[in-house]
């Protein structure tokens, strides 16, 4: 839905915060080391938050920044997703939404669900 004041279709950064028991480990501040470490831990969803951004590109940039900031922390991690509105997908102005939509259309079509209503971008290092 468009913002009633600006008329801009915003994008939401969905952040899922997970925690794990304390353990002394040195992660070297890289997301690659953190990804390997995460596979060895039991994680519990602690909380969630939503951050509204003006466009999908800003959303992805903020998500990547948060991912980098959480990289050296061994007791907390986050899963980050940008939720593109249907209008952002239809406008074709944002390649990140277009690609995410194409990926999901194939999955939805195979499942017999029709086209997805919006695009979900998972924030990972590429």
For the chain, what is the domain count? 1
Judge whether residue 3 has pLDDT over 60: no
Nearest Cα neighbor of 42 from 21, 12, 62 is 21
> Of 27 and 11, which is predicted with more confidence?
11
The answer to whether residue 71 is domain-embedded is yes
The answer to whether residue 3 is domain-embedded is no
Section 14-27 average pLDDT: 86
The answer to whether residue 41 is domain-embedded is yes
Section 49-59 average pLDDT: 91
The answer to whether residue 106 is domain-embedded is yes
User: For 39-85, where are the alpha helices, taking DSSP H only?
Assistant: 56-70
Work out whether strand 44-53 and strand 119-122 pair parallel, antiparallel, or are unpaired.
Answer: unpaired
The answer to whether residue 1 is domain-embedded is no
Lowest mean pLDDT among 30-39, 63-72, 106-115, 116-125: 106-115
pTM, to two decimals: 0.78
The answer to whether residue 63 is domain-embedded is yes
The answer to whether residue 30 is domain-embedded is yes
Structure token pair of residue 69: 């900031």
Structure token pair of residue 74: 């061994």
Query: Range of 22's domain?
Result: 11-122
* DSSP code of residue 9: B
The answer to whether residue 4 is domain-embedded is no
């Amino acid at each position: 839905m468009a913002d009633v004041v600006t008329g801009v279709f915003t994008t939401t950064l969905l952040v899922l915060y997970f925690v794990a028991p304390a353990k002394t480990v040195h992660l070297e501040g890289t997301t690659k080391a953190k990804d390997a470490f995460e596979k060895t831990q039991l994680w519990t969803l602690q909380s969630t938050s939503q951050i509204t951004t003006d466009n999908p590109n800003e959303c992805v940039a903020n998500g990547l920044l948060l991912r980098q900031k959480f990289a050296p922390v061994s007791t907390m991690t986050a899963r980050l997703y940008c939720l593109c509105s249907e209008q952002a997908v239809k406008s074709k102005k944002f390649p990140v939404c277009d690609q995410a939509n194409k990926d999901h259309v194939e999955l939805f079509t195979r499942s017999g669900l029709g086209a997805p209503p919006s695009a979900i971008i998972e924030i990972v290092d590429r």
